[in-house]
Amino acid sequence: QVQLVESGGGSVQEGGSLRLSCAVSGYTANYLALGWFRQAPGKEREGIACIDNQQRITSADSAKGRFTISKDNTKRALYLQMDNLKTEDTAMYYCAADRSGGRCYPEFFPGGRADYWGQGTQVTVSS
């Protein structure tokens, strides 16, 4: 059973940075596709970025240039570096994992059909 535990969220002023982490246990991380998603109140869940088992990255247009996904297989960790944060980035951020061949298939990213989800970490950006 895969378990995903996010951390690193918090409150930051506009223009600031945060680095989210997701600890992956119960499965070898390099066999999974791993992604970051977010959901703001009253809005649909949005895919941010995905990294597959070959370290190939797929990012949403909204993330390009400000958000960077990475992973460390030896530490079994997924990261999301978020820079130049904006108030519209305020949301609950989730990491997710998919076992379907370890690739960022559209159903997983940005579709959100994941095998496993973390509990989420809140990011609040104030002006």
Q: Quick check: 122 pLDDT over 70?
A: yes
Q: What percent of the chain has pLDDT over 70?
A: 98
pLDDT, tens only, 33-50: 999 999 999 999 999 999
* Close Cβ partners of 31 (under 8 Å, ≥ 6 residues apart): 53, 99, 102
Residue 29's pLDDT is: 62
Dist CA 114 CA 111 (whole Å): 9
List C-alpha distances in Å: 36 to 73, 105, 127.
16, 14, 24
Give the distance, in angstroms, between the CA of residue 31 and the centroid of all CA atoms in the same chain: 17
